[in-house]
Structure 1
C-alpha cells in the first residue's frame, strides 16, 4: 500500500494512524471538527445570520465542516441571535416535500446530539429555537436547535456535535474569539464575518480553511486545498497541494559540467568552505529582499 487517505472520526483516525505507523505507510487524515465562526462588531448582521444558519443546518448539520459554534462580539450578540432565530425558525426536519432538512440516520449519533443539547441546557444555556418538546421528532429527526448563553466548556461548544445544533457564545471582542478557537484541539474549517478585518482575523486562526463573509465557501472551490490541523487531521485533498499528496518526489541529477564541489577527491582548495558559506548567505539575503519587495 503506497498511501492511505482516510476520512472519519478522530478515534478511528488514531487507529488508522497507528496501523500506518507500524507499517511506515504514509497517510492523509481528514477527521472531525468543531467548526467555529467569528462575528465581529462591524459585521453585516443580515448576511452573517443567513450564512451562519445555512452553514449550521445544511444537510441536518451532518458535515465535518458544518458550523457548530458562533463566537459573537457582545456589541452585536443580541441583534444577531434574533436574526439567526428568525432564519432557523423557518427550517424544519422531516420527510415531506416542504421540509428543508432530513434525518439523522445513525442512532448513536442521535444520542450524541441529544446529550450535547442536554449538557448545554444543564449548564445554563437557553434554546431560542428548539424547545425541549420539539428538538426531536420521531426516532430519526432532530429539529434545528439554536442555543445561547452556552458556557465555553459545554460539550456542544468543545466537541463535535454533528447535528443541526448551533451554540452561540458571547465574547468581549474578537481577540477572545480567536483565543478560544485556537485553544480547541480541532482545526478544520471556520468562518469570519467582518467588513474590514475579516482576512486579518482569518490568518490568525489555527485551522485549515476559513471563509470570510460566507459559510463553507472554501469547500465549493476544488482548486483550494481541503484539510485540517490538530485533531482534525493532516494532509490536504483538492488543489495542487492535494495532487502532490499522492506523488513521490524523485530527485535526479545528470552531470553536464563542473559541479560546485568536487566529488572525486577529499582535498579542498583553500577558502572553499568560506566561499560556500558566503554564497549561501548571499542567496538568503537575496530571498529576503524579494520577500520584502512583495
Structure 2
C-alpha cells in the first residue's frame, strides 16, 4: 500500500503553495525490513528538519530495495522542496522506469522539466497523461504557466496537420477573425452571418457554432486546450467556446471588443469603444 502522502503532506504545509497530492493507488510489493527502517528514519529526520539526513535515508532505503516506489516519491518531493530540481527529476524518472502508469510522476516530471527550461520534454510528459486522469488538469496548468505548446501542436511540430501549401478557402461570407487548434483545424468568424466556421485539415468547411449569442463576431483566438475566444463586437462581450461546442460568456465588461489574443493563461482584448486593451485571466 502506498504511504507517499506522509512526507508530501508535510512539505505542502511548509511550502504554503500547491503541490501534487499523492493519488491513492495500491501497489503490491513487500518491503524488506531493513529498507522500511531506513524509510521511517528518513521520515522522522524530515519532521525534525534534518533534511540532508532525510535525503540520505530515502536513498539508502532505495538502495536496499530498488523498487521502493514510496521512497522515490518522498525523495523526489523533498528534493523539489529543496530546489534541487535536476536531482528531483532524475528520481521521478526512476518511478516511470518501473511503471509508465504513475501519472503523478509524469506530472512531476513535466513540472520539473518546465522549471529547468526543457519545454519539449515537459510537453512530452503531459501528452502521456490520459485526459480523464486528475493529474492531467494539473499538468495542463504547467503548460499554461510556462507557455508551453502541447506536443504535436500547430506551429511547433513539423508534423502539424495544417496544410503547408499556398491556396485559399473559398465561399466564406465576410470573414473577419481566424485562428487554429493543435489538431490542424482552422476557425473563421463570419461577421454578417454571426457564425463560426470550422475548416478541417483536409479542407472541408463545416458549421462550428451559430447561436443568437453571436452578434457581430470580429476576431478569434484559441488556447492550448482548444477553447475558442470570440470578440463579440455587437454584443459587447467575449465568448468562450469549448472544442465540444459548449459556449459561455467569459466577460461582458467590454465595449466593442475588436481584437483578442491569448498568451498562456491570459486573454488580451482590444476594446475599440473604450480605446484600451484589457487583460483577463482565463484559467
TM-score (norm 2): 0.25
TM-score (norm 1): 0.24
- Structure with greater proportional strand content: 2
- Which fold has the larger relative contact order, with Cα–Cα distance below 8 Å and residues 6 or more apart in sequence? 1
